[in-house]
A and B are shown apart, each in its own frame.
Chain A
Amino acid sequence: MVEEIVHPKDAYLRSDRFPHIWCPGCGLGIVLKSYVDAISKLDIPYNNHVLVSGIGCTARLPGYANVDSYHTTHGRAIPFATGLKIVNPELQVTVISGDGDLFNIGGNHIIHAARRNMDLLVVCVNNFNYGMTGGQHGATTPEGARTSTTPYGNIEHSFNLPYIMSSLGASYVARWTSLHVRQLTRSIMKAMKIRGFSFIEVISPCPPNFGKYNRFSDGLSQMQFFYENSVLDNNADLSEAYIDFTGKRPLIVGEFVHRIRPSYIDLEKELIRKAMEEP
């Protein structure tokens, strides 16, 4: 008789859904672990946690976490989450989705959520391409990188996500790689306690797509790159925080922004109070 092994975090996972759909070497399992670790350690009531995602590999993550989860349409996780949060501010609404979902098709929504300082935590897992559809180029693909739709190399300038988010007034901005498991977990825990808009970028390998085209044939070689090139700099000049994989530029990680600004939910509560008091 083989003893059934129960993982200590099983209660926070939909273990009947495993094995998951992610490829060997993908960083998404690490992000899922960090999320689950964070909510298991925090004093936020478990039932208040809600996960929302759009479409893509990362967007499948909420489906494996044992919390209220919403897998919505491509790019639209943030406005959906906005509706949930405004109606029930007790909810801890976290959006976990990919770079393509949040910054290409959903780019308009994330900039406005940050501008409003909407009380959401957005975790963007950036693998520099569209993994689910076979590795096409997107707004985060570094200049010169090859993808299935940039066979001659990418000629477009890429987004620098922490720089964008900081410029829009987000309350909290951090970046880690899938190598920085503990830092990521602590970052999620911290961000969930912050009023307003929090943003965490997680750099992740995508071995069969971006990796294959760009000298990272397996997850390990890209993790090795993260190990050798990551530089912790909480006070970094974010305009310099672009990512390329040439090895000539450091991969800047850290907690870049943590500021106190009135959040949307706080301001709206005050607005409603005043309007209701009017005779």
Chain B
Amino acid sequence: MNKKLIKPGNYFMNGNFACAEGALVAGLNFYAGYPITPSSEIMERLSYRLPQVGGHFIEMEDEIASMAAIIGASNAGAKAMTATSGPGFSLMQENIGLAVITETPVVVVDEMRGGPSTGLPTRVGQGDIMQAMWGTHGDHEAIAYAPSSVQEMFDLTIKAFNTAERYRQPVIVLTDQVIGHMSERLVVRDLSDYEIVERELREYPDPIGKVHDFSRDFVPMVIAGKGFHYNIDSLTHDERGYPSNDPMVEEVMVKHLIEKIRKNEDKIVEYKEYFLDDAEIIIIAYGITARSSIQAVRELREKGIRVGLFRPITIWPIPKKRIMELSERVNAIYVPEINFGQYSHAIREFSKSPVYEIPFPPGKVPDPKRIVRMIEGGS
């Protein structure tokens, strides 16, 4: 264990620093980024901290380059990350697809601010929910964690690296301006207590004999410079890595990319439940909105209304099985979010009971009183 990693103990730290320190604990050794509010403190911190642990930091010319650079770095064997906010996340989308098709593990932190376009750079939003799933073109699956505390900025960043390595897939830490900028308690356990997934690398000579094997969910990754001489391609490719125009080749490759995630959905999906045992109404909320929602739950319970909170830790894949189960035994599901209805659409697909939106315009922390009023009002 590197002695320059964060020491166990209690800290008062902001979310961005916690994310940076978590990434280092996870084994980050390459960061490429472009400054953008509200995520810039992550790269500032890492520009100082990464060289101390022998890692590489580079400030690129834009977010497109940052995303391309971390995919290149990962293909040389590094655990690699970038961090951004909405406008930069939009620019990264094409190369997120490159990470998907080349099965390259990388971590992308998106700290949501108000949009569209340049929007509200310094203020909170939650408008990138669908972009995190469908921002890059073509068929694919997405994995996105939604921290709602400084503690989770640390813990879920570590987890994002582990998941990226395990599933050979870009993983998104989808957080927001408030979580990134607020300071609160962070407890760092003994570093040996953290599960760190190290990448499974293929040894040369290759026992598989081809760069991909689509009949298996996972094969150890091939990195540059080991003697394999394989072609890694952004075009639809066969198991040799050779580009192809054949729709059958596309079918086999895309099914593999999708199935490796879908088959393991139960292992990837995570959520937390609060006051659900006797709940007749459920609030589903994530990020900073989950913090407002738990306050709303307490106030509503004081008024005798049996409300609970369901908080998806993985926004994607959506915890669909659990949402289906819960929706069968409650009367209504309310979805507060800092947008005009995004995650609510996904929830509605799996809910057996009516789903009501509680939209908050970007710019402010959602007011729990408004959630209380909406639920009291019955719609």
Question: B232 touches which one: A14, A48, A71, A112 (CB < 8 A)?
Answer: A71
Q: State which of B72, B229, B234 has its C-beta within 8 Å of the C-beta of A67.
A: B229
Closest Cβ of chain B to A91, distance in Å, is 5
Binds B, one of A81-89, A96-104, A238-246: A81-89
Q: Name the B residues within 8 Å of A272 (CB-CB).
A: 51, 54-56
Check if A76 sits within 8 Å of B73, measured CB to CB.
no
**A76-B230 contact given A82-B72, A84-B73, A86-B73, CB 8 Å threshold:** no
Q: How many whole Å from B335's CB to the nearest CB in chain A?
A: 35
| A212 at the B interface (CB under 8 A) | no
Q: How far is the CA of A272 from the CA of B234 in the complex (A)?
A: 33
> Which B residues lie within 8 Å of A268 (CB)?
56
Bound CA span A17–B244, Å: 11
Flag whether A24 is at the interface (Cβ < 8 A). no
Cβ A83 vs Cβ B32 within 8 A: yes
Which of B54, B55, B62, B231 interacts with A69 by CB under 8 Å? Answer: B231
B60 touches A87 (CB 8 A): no
Q: Does A167 contact B (CB under 8 A)?
A: no
Q: Does A6 touch B at the CB level, under 8 Å?
A: no
Contacts of B232 in A (CB 8 A): 68-71
CA–CA, A201 and B58, complex, Å: 27
Give chain B nearest CB distance to A212 CB in angstroms: 24
- The interface residues of chain B lying within 8 Å CB-to-CB of A63 are 231, 233, 242-243
Chain A residues with Cβ under 8 A from B98's Cβ? Answer: 72-73, 76
Alpha-carbon distance between A14 and B72 when the two chains are bound, in angstroms? 22
Interface status of B142 (Cβ within 8 A of chain A): no
Contact between A275 and B51 (Cβ–Cβ < 8 Å)? yes
What residues of B have a CB within 8 angstroms of the CB of A70 in the complex?
72, 75, 224, 231-233
Question: Counting CB contacts under 8 A, is A133 at the interface?
Answer: no
Interface residue? A247 (CB, 8 A): no
Cβ distance B247 to chain A, nearest Cβ, rounded Å = 19
Q: Determine if B225 and A71 form an interchain contact, defined as CB atoms under 8 angstroms apart.
A: no
- Given that A88-B224, A88-B225, A109-B61 are contacting pairs, would A76 and B95 also be in contact in the complex, using a CB cutoff of 8 Å? yes
Q: With a CB–CB cut-off of 8 A, which chain B residues contact A275? A: 51-52
A2 at the B interface (CB under 8 A):
no
Cβ–Cβ contact B72 & A84, under 8 A: yes
- 26 pairs, A vs B, C-beta closer than 8 Å: A47-B226, A50-B225, A62-B231, A70-B231, A72-B234, A73-B68, A73-B98, A73-B234, A76-B95, A76-B98, A79-B66, A79-B68, A79-B69, A82-B58, A82-B68, A83-B68, A83-B73, A83-B78, A86-B56, A86-B73, A87-B29, A87-B30, A88-B224, A272-B54, A276-B4, A276-B51
5 extra interchain contacts, Cβ-Cβ under 8 A, other than A68-B228, A71-B232? Answer: A76-B68, A79-B60, A80-B69, A82-B72, A91-B224
Closest 6 CB pairs of A and B: A83-B72, A275-B51, A83-B73, A87-B76, A79-B65, A79-B68
- Using CB atoms and an 8 Å cutoff, list the residues of chain A in contact with chain B: 14, 17, 47-48, 50, 52, 55, 60, 62-63, 66-73, 75-76, 78-88, 90-91, 108-109, 112, 268, 271-272, 274-276, 278
